[in-house]
């Protein structure tokens, strides 16, 4: 062979094998007679990675062979004529469908069926069915995920089973926690292709670094916005259509967009820039509504935005360590709270009007937006905090950090209700009903779903104990006796109408269930004991 062999497969014919080579050639050879039967050559000249033969007995259909290439393309061959029927690639312009974006490592015809299954390193598996007269395959079923690790995951209401994720591969995906058939990748083909594109000049999708979605789910216009890396435009998407929307909104200070959010009513989008600018757009028309003045604004990049339940206030946090509360109608600052260090991320609960901010000093601070004051401080992370999410009732807060931990905080007690040791989680999110937590992790292309077991536990807080004097053994005995006396005094009747519970141990109570059996044993014991002393009966 003039080229290295990359694939070797047995054909349905006896003594005939298919040899795939690195230069894209496929040789059918009879190994018994050492005779070459037919030679095929893939158009892309990419290495042959896998080969399969169709085994169903279809009338009028010529025998077929399918091969996969290192470039992600799938080739279907007519063995009788020795020619190519169709090539399906990731950039295919035909109606056949897209193949894969990475090398095809598996290509297999199902036994006795006109179905071809392909799988690739792009985290996708696809089924193709041959049900046409021309012999072309049609994409029948597919399951796929992010090609690169996702960087943000959020539950989107009102359906508590819907998850939206964005990845460094530039894709936006919707997942369902109950049915895999609902999983889709948002289409990036705009209805107005000349207006804007979701890819760079070399055809690679722009990396999505942030997104936000409207929880109402009742809007007839776009309800998702995405922020792309090193880009000044924010793009809108439509959840129901599963495709990119009509508008793109730019920051007005000619810098880079860093974060964005949608108002609870779904009518407005707010965009924060790397220069500290804050803009407000109308999502229905895509037009600029307002630019907030920079007089009392931020001096550094805005890293988090949120809007209250009445869409009257917008909260912004920045690397300049300020949390600012703006009046949307007047465009003025209502409160300005300076924190000890820079802020990296923000989570907001609009019903209770509290915000959780992660600071660079590894502290999570809970802020009351109504009064603009810090009400809680949560310490526990040992490395940078990556993401935050509040539970639906605002009682719990879940946080993730580079220290490889996911922590569940009980906000009223400022204590940790639970902690998980995992690979660093880049994003975490509470479900709408609080039953689940979704997370994405470094070097992992999947989304992990956790059951919130804290729903069944009672959060306990530490009770301070005075240990100024270490007691000796005699003191310990006195303490035990005194504690027993205190326990006995606690059982005094407070109210005669209340039910008094027994203080006996559980073993004593369980004896009542077998009381009759115990009495029989006692009677027989005493009878046997007095038998020798009874007078003899003549």
Task: Determine if the peptide bond prior to 14 is cis (ω within 30°).
Answer: no
Alpha-carbon torsion (454, 455, 457, 463), positive or negative: positive
| Contact yes or no for 137/154 (Cβ under 8 A) | no
pLDDT, averaged across the chain: 85
DSSP 100: -
Is 139 within a domain? yes
Residues 127 and 183 in one domain: no
Does 83 share its domain with 171? no
* Lookup result for tokens 């989304």: 447
According to the model, what pLDDT value does residue 513 have? 73
Same domain, 133 and 159: no
> Is 18 a domain residue?
yes
Neighbours of 211 (CB within 10 A): 25
pLDDT for the residue numbered 534? 46
Is residue 320 located within the same domain as residue 191? Answer: yes
Is residue 85, in this structure, part of any structural domain at all? yes
Which tens digit of pLDDT belongs to each residue from 99-115?
898 999 999 999 989 99
> Distance (Å, rounded) from C-alpha 324 to C-alpha 295?
13
297 and 213, same structural domain?
yes
Contact indicator for 156, 215 with CB cutoff of 8 Å: yes
User: Could you tell me the CATH number of the domain that includes residue 11?
Assistant: 2.130.10.10
- Res 538: pLDDT: 41
Residues 196 and 297 in one domain: yes
Name the more confident of 347 and 497: 347
Is 319 found in the same domain as 170?
yes
Determine the average pLDDT of the residues in 86-108: 76
pLDDT of residue 94: 44
Average confidence (pLDDT) over 12-38: 94
The boundaries of the domain holding residue 33 are: 5-144
Are 164 and 137 in a shared domain? no
Which SS3 state, helix, strand or coil, does residue 474 take?
helix
Q: Is the dihedral of CA 220, 224, 225, 229 positive or negative?
A: negative
> Final residue of a domain: which of 289, 310, 338?
338
Q: What digits encode the pLDDT tens for the residues 189-240?
A: 765 544 555 555 455 678 999 999 998 766 688 999 999 999 999 999 999 8
Q: Is residue 184 part of a domain?
A: yes
Q: Is the pLDDT of residue 483 over 90?
A: no
**Top mean-pLDDT range of 41-50, 102-111, 454-463:** 102-111
Helix, coil or strand: residue 512: helix
Cβ proximity of 261 and 212 under 8 Å: yes
Comparison of pLDDT for 192 and 121, the residue scoring more: 121
CA gap 260, 303 in Å, rounded: 9
Predicted pLDDT at 194: 45
182 and 46 belong to one structural domain? no
Tens digits of residue pLDDT in 4-24: 999 999 999 999 999 999 999
pLDDT at position 482 is 56
| Ramachandran class of 275: left when φ > 0, alpha when ψ lies in -120 to 50, beta otherwise | alpha
The reply to whether 426 falls in a domain is no
**How deeply is 461 buried, as exposed, middle or buried, from its count of CB atoms within 10 A (0-12, 13-18, 19+)?**
exposed
Distances in Å between the Cα of 403 and the Cα atoms of 380, 383, 386, 464 are 10, 5, 10, 29
Residue 511 resides in a domain: no
| pLDDT of the residue at 25 | 94
Indicate if 183 and 318 belong to the same structural domain: yes
pLDDT, mean of residues 479-504: 59
Position 537 scores a pLDDT of 43
CA dist list (Å): 157 to 218, 310, 329: 10, 18, 27
Q: How confident is the model at residue 536 (pLDDT cuts 50, 70, 90)?
A: very low
| Domain limit, last residue, from 98, 120, 144 | 144
Please give the average per-residue pLDDT across 365-384, as a whole number. 94
Identify the helix (H) or strand (E) that includes residue 524: helix 515-530
Q: What is the pLDDT of residues 384-433, one digit of tens each?
A: 999 999 999 999 999 999 999 999 999 999 999 889 999 999 999 999 99
Residues 128 and 194 both lie in one domain = no
pLDDT of residue 95: 45
How many domains, in total, are found in the chain? 2
Identify the domain boundary among 338, 364, 392.
Answer: 338
Q: What is the mean pLDDT of residues 26-39?
A: 94
CA distances (Å), origin 42, targets 70, 76, 95, 108, 441 = 11, 10, 20, 18, 38
Residue 508 has pLDDT above 80, yes or no: no
Cβ atoms of residues 225 and 235 within 8 Å: yes
Q: For 151, phi and psi rounded to 5 degrees?
A: -115, -5
Question: How confident is the model at residue 220, as a pLDDT?
Answer: 81
> Is residue 92 predicted with pLDDT exceeding 90?
no
- For residue 83, being part of any structural domain is answered with yes
Residues 284 and 140 in one domain: no
Q: What percent of the chain has pLDDT over 70?
A: 81
Report if residue 166 sits inside a domain.
Answer: yes
- Quote the CA–CA distance of 344 and 434 in Å, as a whole number: 24
What mean pLDDT do residues 430-444 have? 93
* Buried-exposed string 368-389: b where 16+ CB fall within 10 A, e elsewhere: bbeeeebebebebbeeebbbbb
Angstrom distances, CA of residue 485 to CA of 121, 471, 500? 71, 19, 18
């Amino acid at each position: 062979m003039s080229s290295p062999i990359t694939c070797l497969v047995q054909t349905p014919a006896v003594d005939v094998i298919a040899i795939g080579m690195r230069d894209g050639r496929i040789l059918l050879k009879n190994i018994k007679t050492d005779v070459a039967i037919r030679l095929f050559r893939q158009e892309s000249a990419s290495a042959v990675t896998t080969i399969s033969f169709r085994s169903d007995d279809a009338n009028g259909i010529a025998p077929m062979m399918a091969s996969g290439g290192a470039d992600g393309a799938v080739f279907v061959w007519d063995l009788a004529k020795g020619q190519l029927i169709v090539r399906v690639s990731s950039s295919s312009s035909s109606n056949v469908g897209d193949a894969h974006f990475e090398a095809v490592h598996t290509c297999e015809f199902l036994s006795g069926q006109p179905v071809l299954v392909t799988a690739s390193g792009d985290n996708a598996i696809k089924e193709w069915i041959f049900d046409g007269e021309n012999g072309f395959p049609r994409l029948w079923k597919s399951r796929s995920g992010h090609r690169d690790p996702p960087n943000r995951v959020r539950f989107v209401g009102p359906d508590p089973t819907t998850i939206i994720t964005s990845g460094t591969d530039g894709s936006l995906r919707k997942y369902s926690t109950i049915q895999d058939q609902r999983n889709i990748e948002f289409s990036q083909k705009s209805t107005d292709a000349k207006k804007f594109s979701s890819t760079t000049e070399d055809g690679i999708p722009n990396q999505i670094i942030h997104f936000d979605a409207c929880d109402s789910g009742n809007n007839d216009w776009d309800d998702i916005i995405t922020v792309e890396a090193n880009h000044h435009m924010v793009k809108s998407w439509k959840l129901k259509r599963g495709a990119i929307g009509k508008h793109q909104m730019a920051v007005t200070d000619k810098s880079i967009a860093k974060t964005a959010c949608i108002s609870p009513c779904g009518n407005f989008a707010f965009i924060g820039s790397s220069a500290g600018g804050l803009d407000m757009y109308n999502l229905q028309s895509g037009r600029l509504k307002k630019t907030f003045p920079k007089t009392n604004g931020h001096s550094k990049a805005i890293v988090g935005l949120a809007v209250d339940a009445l869409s009257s206030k917008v909260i912004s946090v920045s690397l300049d360590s300020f949390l600012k509360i703006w009046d949307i109608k007047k465009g003025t600052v209502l409160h300005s709270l300076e924190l000890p260090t820079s802020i990296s991320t923000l989570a907001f609960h609009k019903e209770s009007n509290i915000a959780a901010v992660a600071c660079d000093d590894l502290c999570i601070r809970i802020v009351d937006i109504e009064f603009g004051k810090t009400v809680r401080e949560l310490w526990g992370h040992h490395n940078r905090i990556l993401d935050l999410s509040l539970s639906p009732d605002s009682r719990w807060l879940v946080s993730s950090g580079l220290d490889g931990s996911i922590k569940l905080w009980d906000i009223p007690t400022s204590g940790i209700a639970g902690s998980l040791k995992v690979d660093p989680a880049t994003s975490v999110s509470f479900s709408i009903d609080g039953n689940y937590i979704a997370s994405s992790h470094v070097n992992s292309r999947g989304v992990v779903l956790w059951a919130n077991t804290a729903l069944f536990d009672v959060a306990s807080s530490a009770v301070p104990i005075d240990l100024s004097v270490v007691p000796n053994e005699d003191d310990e005995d006195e303490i035990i006796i005194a504690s027993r006396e205190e326990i006995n005094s606690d059982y005094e009747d407070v109210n005669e109408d209340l039910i008094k519970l027994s203080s006996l141990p559980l073993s004593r109570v369980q004896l009542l269930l077998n009381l009759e059996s115990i009495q029989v044993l006692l009677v027989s014991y005493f009878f046997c004991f007095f038998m020798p002393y009874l007078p003899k009966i003549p």
